Structure 1
Amino acid sequence: MAFTLHLYASFVALGLGGLILSMRKGTKPHRLLGSTWVAAMALSALSSFWLGGGVLPLVAHLGPIHLLSLWVLVALTAAVVAIVKGKVRQHREWMLGAYLGLVAAFAGTLMPGRWVASQLGLW
């Protein structure tokens, strides 16, 4: 169940993030889709803690990839706090950083031996 939640939340966040980055900022659709994106990102990051870390476990089943999940949760929190305080530039930077973290994580799933790569027939 955690894997399915993680997979769907990650793909929703990946697609929505690209859409949000391309649209006009500060509008009602931007805020609505942005809230949905934050929820998807948070679900993706949180659900990852129930999944194995693959290579180089650091603590129990948690690996280096879980540090990215932790960072994403920090970035999302900082971004939401920034926009509530009216700090648009900081909000933009944190959101972009969180999205780039997601893109990096997705790129990592395309590496040899990873489930997504095997399902796509890459390796």
Structure 2
Amino acid sequence: MTLTLHLTASLLALGVGALVLLLRKGTLWHRSLGVVWVAAMALSALSSFWLGGGVLPLVGHLGPIHLLSAWVLVALTVAVAAIARGQVQRHREWMLGAYLGLLGAFAGTLVPGRWMSTQLGLW
């Protein structure tokens, strides 16, 4: 169940995040989809802590990818706080950084031998 939750939240964040980045900023659509994106990203990051780290475990079942999950939670917090204070540029930079982190994590799942790459029949 945790894997399904994680995959659903991650794929939702991947798609919605692309839309948010393409939309005109400050509009109702941008803000509404942004809320959905932040929730999906947070759920993706939080759910990852119940999944194994795969290769190179650092502490217990947690691996290097979990450092990215922790960073995403920090980035989301900073970005939301920034926009609440009217710091648009800071908000933009942290949100873009969080999305790039998601893209990096997704790319990592496509490495040969990882579950996602196997399921997609890539390798």
Q: TM-score range by the shorter chain?
A: over 0.9
- The whole-number CA distance in structure 2 between the counterparts of 1:40 and 1:15 is 10
Q: 1:5-46: per-residue Cα shift (whole Å, max 9, x none)?
A: 000000000000111101100011111000000000000000
User: TM-score normalized by structure 1?
Assistant: 0.99
Distance 2:31 2:83 in 1: 11
State the shift of 1:119 in Å. Answer: 1.0
Q: How many Å apart are 1:104 and its aligned residue? A: 0.3
Structure 1 residues not aligned, in runs of 5+: none
Which structure 2 segments of 5+ residues have no match?
Answer: none
Q: d(CA) in 2 for partners of 1:52 and 1:13?
A: 21
Corresponding letter in the other structure for 2:94: W
The residue aligned with 2:2 is: 2
- Corresponding position of 1:71: 71
> What is the TM-score with the length of structure 2 in the denominator?
0.99
Stretches (4+) displaced over 4 A: none
Asked if 1:61 is matched to 2:61, the reply is yes
1:26-41 equivalence runs, <5 A: 26-41=26-41
Sequence identity of aligned pairs in percent? Answer: 76
| SS of residue paired to 2:100 | helix
- Mapped pair 1:83 → 2:83: yes
Matched residue pairs, number? Answer: 123
